[in-house]
């Protein structure tokens, strides 16, 4: 693999959903002449704005944003494709003398970009893959996912049952190598490919869950139901995008499987569970400098603290001096 220029600087902001990554990213981008790259696996889809908490144009404050609205909802997207696109974007932004800032919560995608993480080494078996695709149609996504859970619990816990492509890939790796995907990933070289400042935002769980519940209520008031109905009426169903939290739950309501109130409660619950999984992933897989946001009456002071860390780590200067 081609080793990237280690002089390229990169700021990464991670953390669970609703913790406050977007606001911080805008402030830091203004301070350090930055451009933001979305590190969210679902904000790539056009027409899926409210449910993915996609940043609004007016909230960007003129800061360029990348990897948003680059795919149609019926198109697939992989961590390998994300890796390729983002690494090219990091080089492009650095070449302009600007600071690339990855912001998001999809742990595997971000890990694949910043570490010497290679997808191509794991062998493939096209015939076996096709057999699994047919099996998924016969027994259902949940049943196939349960089979993966029995083989590789850690990988299964990071893959949504509806993400059949990734479930199949994990089973394929085990079939071809006798090794589970999580072990395969652990054995890869954890070398950082950039001069990286990797900061994480965290919050007391009770406070975070309260913010998540409030965000869901706000999404509903902003028109999430109408957004999902639009996708539903297009006939979108067995595709990667509809696995996203906020869409699957409303689909169950539109299918008549649950009441509207139950769908909203399920959305809140799934969002809280996802936040817990995000924090577990980041703490186990990445060397993160964490910043606590639970009781922060003055966000500007916390931003100053984070800025000092960024400047020390990346040797960059703030525009505000």
Q: Does residue 51 contact residue 219 with C-beta atoms inside 8 Å? A: yes
CATH code linked to domain 126-186: 1.10.20.140
pLDDT band at residue 1 using 50, 70 and 90 as cut-offs: very low
Domain with CATH 1.10.20.140 in the chain: 126-186
Reported as a single tens digit per residue, the pLDDT across 149-174 is 888 887 887 787 878 888 898 898 88
What is the third-level CATH fold of 9-118+188-314?
Answer: Rossmann fold (3.40.50)
pLDDT band at residue 119 using 50, 70 and 90 as cut-offs: low
CB atoms within 10 A of CB 142: 10
Domain with CATH 3.40.50.300 in the chain: 9-118+188-314
Find the helix or strand (DSSP H, E) in which 289 lies.
strand 289-292
Range in 4-13, 194-203, 257-266, 278-287 with the lowest mean pLDDT: 4-13
Q: Quick one: how many helices (H) and strands (E) in the chain?
A: 13, 6
């Amino acid at each position: 693999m081609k080793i990237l220029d280690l002089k390229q600087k990169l700021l990464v902001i991670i953390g669970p959903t609703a913790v406050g990554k977007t606001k911080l990213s805008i402030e830091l981008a203004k301070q350090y002449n930055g451009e933001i790259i979305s590190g969210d696996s679902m904000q790539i889809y056009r027409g899926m704005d409210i449910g993915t908490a996609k940043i609004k144009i007016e909230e960007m404050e003129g800061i360029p944003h990348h990897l948003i609205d680059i795919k149609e909802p019926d198109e697939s997207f992989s961590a390998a494709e994300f890796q390729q696109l983002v690494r090219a974007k990091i080089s492009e932004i650095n070449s302009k003398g600007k600071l690339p800032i990855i912001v998001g919560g999809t742990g595997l995608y971000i890990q694949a970009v910043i570490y010497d993480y290679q997808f191509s080494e794991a062998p493939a078996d096209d015939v076996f893959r096709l057999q699994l695709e047919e099996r998924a149609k016969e027994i259902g996504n949940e049943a196939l996912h349960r089979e993966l859970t029995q083989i590789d619990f850690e990988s299964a816990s990071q893959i949504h049952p509806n993400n059949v492509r990734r479930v199949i890939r994990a089973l394929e790796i085990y079939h071809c190598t006798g090794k589970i995907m999580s072990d395969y990933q652990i054995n890869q070289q954890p070398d950082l490919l950039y001069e990286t400042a990797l900061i994480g935002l965290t919050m007391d769980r009770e406070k975070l869950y309260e913010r998540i519940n409030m965000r869901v209520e706000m999404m509903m008031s902003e028109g999430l139901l109408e957004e999902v109905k639009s996708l539903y009426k297009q006939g979108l169903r067995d595709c990667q995008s509809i696995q996203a939290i906020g869409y699957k739950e409303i689909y169950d309501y539109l299918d008549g499987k649950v009441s509207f109130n139950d769908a909203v409660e399920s959305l809140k619950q799934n969002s809280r569970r996802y936040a817990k999984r995000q924090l577990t992933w980041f703490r186990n897989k990445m060397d993160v400098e964490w910043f606590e946001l639970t009781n922060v009456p003055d966000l500007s002071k916390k931003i100053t603290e984070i800025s000092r860390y960024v400047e020390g780590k990346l040797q960059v200067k703030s525009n505000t001096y």
